[in-house]
């Protein structure tokens, strides 16, 4: 993956890591920055128009972004001023309304050649047989450029609308997801032999029945006889992405994820989790730890001068919606801050979760004298719970390098404040600086290639790597049915006993101030 202009690390021993860059979006208005749809330069409220998305996809491909990472939720943010009160989210447009993400992809893929598309779909609310078909279909239509961001869900509002009173418990959601992946691997990798489709016009055989078989999965949560209704797609198994750094989430990522989405306000927040996932992947599952790519959430506010960047950020914050931010915070954490007075110091409330979160933020932003719910809301109106960095191209590039060196990230999911303005600033101002430093490629490794090829940096690696669990299910050409084991290992229910993960954990602090890039408070 290194290009000819790759330079040395500070230690001078090895080439710099070239960054993976995805644009982080959602099929809604505003996404991570509630209220900024009001800004005169923002176009995110055009999300219902397919030409809006085609234009974005062309923009990202012209800049050689690896992919577009499309978030999703299946319910509204109804914790703030709750219970079950959607008013703040509805009024501010805080990820409401939100449309289905996968429907966007074929149109964008038809207008591009190499851009990948990572789509979020929750295992808890979708039957694996149905989702396997949908993802295989889109993998075919994109020529192998689709990825699946595997989530288990986190909103009770979604569960209520999908036949339950509340979500399954955190650990059970991961146990469901574990079995879900086994079903998917069997459908995608094991039910069709590579050469099952023969298209013999002389004999009239479209597919050879001897090369297709039932999977006959019988588990605790699913019974799926199969076979897969689609022939193998270019990637067979789409690129597998995952987010979640609870103990269960890390165990799941260590085994299955090819790219992991991490969020925190400084490299120190995510460094420990990245190290643990890499170590667990190697020691427990025999995977190459460097094959798992870690992408940090970041929202860069860039100006040609530091003053311009600071002024731009101040203007964005003025457009931010406080109640919308608190609605998002409530959905992300399960904490309703409306119960506290506007000027109440949150360091001294009874909630351990709130005190811990505020303590983490205060260490990273010591200039904030008093943490109130308004302070918290302002903190996340531009960029959400990830890092927001403000500065010149050189200063922001310094901050990107700091994340690489201190947290071992492989790249970033770039959130926007304004769409497409934030992305245009990244393309026109930041990417030339990154390329000058040897941190970003000049072109796709494989033009028209699979998403997995360009993310992994391995030309020809369309299918999961040999050390990935999906590969053990792969029914290769020439292997007779009786000689191929459809279940290559004992299937065990996930037994990780874990606490519920809260995104605004004690570690969720802001990056400390430094001249190379400013993270505003």
The two three-digit tokens of residue 8, written as one number: 């040395």
Average pLDDT of span 400-407: 97
Confidence of residue 496 (pLDDT cuts 50, 70, 90): very low
pLDDT at 185: 98
Average pLDDT of span 476-484: 92
Confidence of residue 504 (pLDDT cuts 50, 70, 90): very low
Confidence of residue 277 (pLDDT cuts 50, 70, 90): very high
Give the C-alpha separation, 36 to 71, whole Å: 18
Residue 38: CB atoms within 10 A of its CB come to 15
The two three-digit tokens of residue 484, written as one number: 């191929």
Over the stretch 4-29, which tens digit does the pLDDT of each residue have?
A: 344 455 555 556 889 999 999 999 99
Which of 238-247, 381-390, 432-441 has the largest mean confidence? 432-441
3-state secondary structure 216-284: CEECCCCEECCCCCCCCCCCCCCEEEEECCCHHHHHHHHHHCCEEEECCCCHHHHHHHHHHHHHHHHHH
Helix, strand, or coil here: 121?
strand
Average pLDDT of span 146-174: 83
pLDDT at 360: 63
pLDDT at 125: 85
The tokens 């165990």 sit on which residue?
251
- 85 in Cβ contact with 67 (< 8 Å): no
Average pLDDT of span 289-306: 97
Phi, psi of 31 (to 5 degrees): 55, -105
User: Could you tell me the domains of the chain?
Assistant: 20-483 (3.20.20.30)
pLDDT at 494: 39
pLDDT at 245: 77
pLDDT at 488: 79
Minimum mean pLDDT range among 57-61, 248-252, 254-258, 514-518: 514-518
Residue 343: CB atoms within 10 A of its CB come to 10
Confidence of residue 124 (pLDDT cuts 50, 70, 90): confident
Average pLDDT of span 289-300: 97
Report pTM. Answer: 0.90
- 151 in Cβ contact with 70 (< 8 Å): no
The two three-digit tokens of residue 167, written as one number: 């979500």
Which sign, positive or negative, has the C-alpha torsion 325, 77, 249, 72? negative
268: exposed, middle or buried (Cβ count in 10 Å: 0-12, 13-18, 19+): middle
Q: 428 CB contacts (<8 Å, ≥6 apart)? A: none
- 399 in Cβ contact with 517 (< 8 Å): yes
């Amino acid at each position: 993956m290194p290009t000819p202009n790759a330079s040395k690390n500070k230690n001078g021993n090895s080439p710099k890591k070239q960054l993976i860059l995805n644009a982080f979006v959602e099929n809604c208005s505003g996404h991570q920055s509630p209220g900024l749809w009001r800004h005169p330069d923002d176009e995110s409220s055009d999300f219902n128009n397919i030409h809006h998305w085609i234009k974005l996809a062309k923009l990202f491909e012209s800049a050689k972004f690896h992919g577009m990472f499309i978030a999703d939720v299946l319910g509204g943010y109804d914790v703030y001023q709750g219970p079950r009160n959607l008013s703040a989210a509805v009024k501010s447009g805080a990820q409401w309304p939100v449309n289905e993400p996968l429907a966007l992809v074929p149109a964008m893929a038809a207008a591009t050649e190499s851009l990948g598309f990572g789509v979020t779909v929750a295992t808890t609310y979708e039957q694996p047989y149905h989702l396997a078909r949908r993802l295989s279909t889109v993998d075919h239509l994109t020529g192998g450029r689709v990825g699946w961001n595997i989530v288990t869900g986190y909103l009770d509002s979604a569960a209520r609308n999908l036949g339950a009173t509340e979500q399954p418990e955190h650990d059970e959601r991961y146990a469901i997801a574990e079995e879900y992946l086994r079903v998917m691997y069997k459908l995608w990798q094991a039910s069709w032999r590579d050469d099952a489709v023969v298209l013999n016009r002389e004999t009239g055989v479209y597919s050879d029945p001897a090369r297709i078989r039932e999977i006959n999965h019988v588990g605790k949560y699913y019974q799926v006889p199969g076979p897969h209704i689609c022939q193998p797609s270019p990637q067979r198994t789409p690129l597998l992405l995952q987010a979640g750094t609870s103990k269960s989430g890390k165990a799941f990522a260590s085994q299955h994820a090819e790219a992991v989405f991490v969020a925190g306000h400084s490299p120190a927040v995510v460094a420990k989790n990245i190290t643990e996932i890499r170590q667990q992947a190697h020691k427990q599952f025999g995977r190459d730890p460097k094959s798992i790519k870690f992408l940090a959430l970041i929202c860069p506010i860039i100006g040609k001068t530091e003053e311009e960047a600071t002024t731009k950020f101040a203007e964005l914050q003025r457009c931010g919606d406080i109640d919308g931010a608190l609605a998002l915070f409530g959905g992300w954490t399960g904490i309703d801050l409306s119960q506290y007075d506007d000027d109440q110091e949150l360091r001294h409330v009874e909630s351990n979760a709130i005190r811990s979160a505020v303590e983490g933020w205060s260490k990273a932003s010591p200039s904030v004298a008093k943490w109130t719910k308004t302070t918290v809301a302002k903190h996340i109106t531009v960029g959400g719970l990830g890092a927001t960095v403000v500065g010149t191209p050189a200063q922001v590039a310094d901050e990107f390098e700091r994340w690489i060196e201190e947290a071992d990230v492989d790249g970033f999911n770039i959130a926007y404040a304004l769409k497409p303005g934030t992305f245009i600033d990244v393309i026109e101002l930041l990417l030339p600086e990154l390329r000058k430093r040897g941190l970003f490629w000049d072109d796709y490794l494989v033009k028209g290639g699979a998403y997995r090829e360009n993310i992994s940096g391995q030309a020809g690696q369309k299918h999961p790597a040999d050390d990935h669990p999906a590969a053990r299910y792969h029914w290769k050409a020439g292997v007779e049915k009786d000689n191929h084991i459809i279940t290559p290992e004992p299937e065990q229910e996930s037994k990780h006993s874990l606490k519920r993960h809260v995104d605004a954990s004690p570690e969720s602090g802001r990056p400390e101030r430094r001249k190379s890039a400013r993270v505003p408070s």
